[in-house]
Amino acid sequence: LTDQRWICQPPGTVCHDWLVRTLRASGHEPDLAYQVAEYHTQLALVSAGLGIALVPRLGRGPVPDGVSVVPLEPTPLRRLYALWRPGAARRPSITEAVRLLQEHWPRRHAA
């Protein structure tokens, strides 16, 4: 896919920088045809046949007809951090949010 026209996030965003860094590391300069922030717009451009995009599952939403979703191998990983003020730990909503994060994203997933 290194010679394809890419639809991606604007420069300075995590997804844009990751894509450019990854392609350059493999010796290829990416052809960044369109740089738009909204994933639904990226998918519309892909649906129109204007390029390919790397869209995280979390931000993807519905996939338009005619667009194929292909998982990456290996799957890219990201880290998730939860921060709060020490005094706020007494709040039940914060305690529960942290508990749910730990329950659904155990340390074994950390890279």
Residues of the chain under the 70 pLDDT cut: 106-111
Q: Cα–Cα distance between 19 and 42 in angstroms, integer?
A: 14
pLDDT at 111: 46
Q: How far apart are the first and last CA of the chain?
A: 26
Q: Cα–Cα distance between 20 and 76 in angstroms, integer?
A: 14
pLDDT at 63: 93
| pLDDT tens, residue by residue, 94-107 | 889 888 888 887 66
pTM of the model as a whole: 0.70
